[in-house]
Chains A and B, each alone.
Chain A
Amino acid sequence: MANVSKEYRIGASQGEGMLRDALVGGAKRLLGRGTARAQHDTVWALKGVDLEIAKDEVVGVIGRNGSGKTTLLKLLSKITYPTSGEIDVRGRVASLVEVGTGFHNELSGRDNIYLNGSILGLKRREIEEHFDAIVEYSGVGAFLDTPIKRYSTGMRLRLGFAVAAHLFPDVLLVDEVLAVGDAEFQAKCLATLSEVGRRGHAVLFVSHNLEAIESICSRTIWIDRGALRMDGPSREVIAAYLKETAQANTAIVDLSGAEGRPGTGEARFSAMQFLARDGQPLDVIRTADEVTVRFQFEAFEAIQSPYIGLSIFTEFGTIVTHPNTFSAGFELSKIEPGKHTVDLHVDRLPLMPGRYPLTLWMNRHSDSESIDWLEQCATLTVHSPGSSVFERSLPRRTGAVLLDAEWRLVEP
């Protein structure tokens, strides 16, 4: 793709046009009145995109909703055409914008395999050749001659993907097909997609499932408001994307302005930071990362033996863990007035991907009254570690804790 742009008209004139408008417009032009063409609001779905993809690359495409990802795929598959710029695709292209495109409710599963296959660009001979494999993959064998209007959503989905899995195009474009279906189906789709990539076909995979992208795509492009924002190794691009979107962790949490904090106020937390090994703020925290949590507080008077602690909760409010200086036997002894910094170092963060509300406190053990108490003052967002920790992708419900353990087979 070289400098490709796509402009859409927005407003009433798009789509449901009325002949009347065209007639009135034409009459105005004839009479020499008004502008030749009414002014329309336009929006650039894509602007100046340059992209080159090799024939054996599996490339992920990420970006917010409406950023132009789907437009990119539609342009590449010639469903729609660029307003300007050049697109050159070599080889047979198959686009999978939806699973089961062109399925007809009244037709049987068998008929729909043929219909859908030929719509996706398969030759009749190829469909016949792979027919048994498609049926087996779909698992709807027993209902092959039933009209698919009697199929469940899951069955339709499996049948549709089964046909798609047996396309052998040079370029495969996939758009969010994984947004639907159960975990088992998703895992199967992902395995198939990466298999297609291994066979030496180019795959462009649009998804909001960043974990899926990271596990099967070596390269990822980030489309932002129609422009190519970043292009590079998946891990880096996804980290940058997470950092920018709201999903990112706040590496430096400013607590000086926090309100509604009970406690005597002899000292106040001013900030909490998440730092990497090299001391840089950690914007994207992943399971099993090395993390240093830095607590900064200011004492307004001398305090005898305070304890500080951090409570980590699940989103459902269950406490996951509760590291604190008291239990650890870490004595702060006497704190002088002024600013202080305490680090909590975690070698291998044992939290599974998810969001964890944090509560921060400082107490004196001798009396139960707290000095500072920040109830759920921040949220720690933990991202999937990708292939560095787990061999395969995680099921949807991951739980909260990464157990440091290994499996062994004990011979009888």
Chain B
Amino acid sequence: MSRLAEIFRSRELLYFLTWRDVKIRYKQTLLGAAWAVLQPLITMVVFTIFFGRLANIPTGGMPGPIFYYLALLPWTFFASGITNAGNSLITNTDLLTKVYFPRAILPSSTILAGLVDLAIASALLGVLLPWYGVTPDMEAFAWPLAILVLVVLTLGAGMLIAAVNVMYRDVKYALPFAVQLMLFVSPVIYPTENIAEKYRWLMLMNPLSGIIETSRSAIVPGRAIDWGHFGISAGIAGLVFLVGSAYFYRVQRRFADLV
């Protein structure tokens, strides 16, 4: 509890570091914040052409672009979130070794900055959904819930990676590689139901699967949310957060000496 209180007392620093991340991310770029939309949008187009049209991978009965975009929103957040949070300590060495503040602020601020990108990218749904004639029903309330679980998962994993990264720079090389692999073991380019029944449990182990599927089911009507699947993912995400933050706090006293 005292940890939360300490972070709450430093909320203005959290705000300023987030604001810094957002502000400098698209500095000296022509398109600015449009990049937050362009990245998932272009990926969506590429996926639609290659996986949808050419490889004919089923899209769970929904329009391909909607199918991919609703998965790419949480996926992009997760991928950039763990990368940025994982590097947040070693890219802010000067802060770590020169000033005291609750260390968890650094990974947290990168996650919050990612949330701003997610919000901008989500705004495109306002155009995409009507375009493809998708009208969300009551289940849409579950979408923010899925995003909440996503944030908890990404923050937990990010803190764990950040702490390990301070001690072992191997992480720097392993992380981009791991993120790439994660894309294929998560139901971004294929629906979960396409996995053979006997391997389904493996997919359940990946908390991103429940988040991504819920992101789709919540928005697209006629596709019921698999609450059991989502519940398992939420549970695993919570566990990742507990382990990640516990480890982070256990080793954080040594950060300034090791970084």
Chain A residues with CB under 8 Å of chain B are: 8, 14-20, 22, 74, 77-81, 93, 95, 97-98, 101-102, 104, 106-107, 111, 114-115, 118-121, 123-124
Whether A115 and B99, one on each chain, are in contact in the complex, defined by CB atoms closer than 8 angstroms, is no
| Chain B, residue nearest A8 (CB) | B257
Stretch of B90-98, B137-145, B206-214 that contacts chain A: B90-98
Contact for B98 among A17, A101, A118, A123, CB less than 8 A: A101
Instruction: Out of B99, B254, B256, B259, name the residue touching A119 (CB < 8 Å).
Output: B99
B12 adjacent to chain A (CB < 8 Å): yes
Q: Which residue of A lies closest to B16 (CB)?
A: A118
Q: Which residues of B contact A93 (CB under 8 A)?
A: 100
27 A-B pairs in the complex with CB atoms less than 8 angstroms apart: A14-B258, A15-B259, A22-B167, A22-B168, A78-B100, A79-B256, A80-B253, A80-B256, A81-B253, A93-B100, A95-B99, A97-B99, A98-B94, A101-B94, A102-B92, A104-B24, A107-B23, A114-B16, A115-B17, A118-B13, A118-B15, A118-B16, A119-B16, A121-B13, A121-B101, A123-B12, A124-B16
Interface residues on B, range: 20 to 34
* Bound Cα distance A19, B101 (Å): 28
Residues of A within 8 A of B28 (CB): 106
Q: Which residue of B12, B17, B256 is within 8 Å of A124 (Cβ)?
A: B12
CB A301 to nearest CB in B, in angstroms, measures 69
A75 CA to B188 CA in the complex, in Å? 47
Q: Is the interface of B mostly helix, strand, loop or mixed?
A: helix
Contact check, B95 vs A101: say whether CB atoms are below 8 A apart: yes
Which B residues form the contact surface with A (CB < 8 A)?
12-13, 15-17, 20, 23-24, 27-28, 92, 94-101, 167-171, 253-254, 256-259
List 4 additional A-B contacts (Cβ < 8 Å) besides A8-B257, A98-B98: A16-B169, A106-B23, A118-B16, A124-B15
Nearest first, the 8 closest Cβ-Cβ pairs linking A and B are: A19-B170, A78-B100, A19-B168, A118-B16, A81-B253, A97-B98, A80-B256, A106-B27
**Bound complex: CA of A106 vs CA of B22, how far in Å?**
12
Residues of A within 8 A of B256 (CB): 74, 79-80
- Residues of chain B within 8 A (CB-CB) of A101 are 94-95, 98-99
A97 to B97, CA, bound (A): 9
- Residue in contact with A102 in the complex, picked from B94, B168, B258, CB distance below 8 Å: B94
Provided the pairs A118-B12, A124-B12 are in contact, do residues A79 and B98 lie with their beta carbons within 8 angstroms?
A: yes
- With a cutoff of 8 Å between Cβ atoms, the chain B residues found around residue A18 in the complex are 168-170
Q: What CA separation (Å) do A235 and B92 show in the bound complex?
A: 40
A95 touches B95 (CB 8 A): no
Say whether, besides A79-B99, A107-B24, A115-B16, A17 and B169 are in contact (CB < 8 Å): yes
- What residues of chain B lie closer than 8 Å to A97, measured between beta carbons? 97-99
CB distance from B93 to the nearest CB of A (A): 10
Please name the residue on chain B nearest to A95 by beta carbon: B99
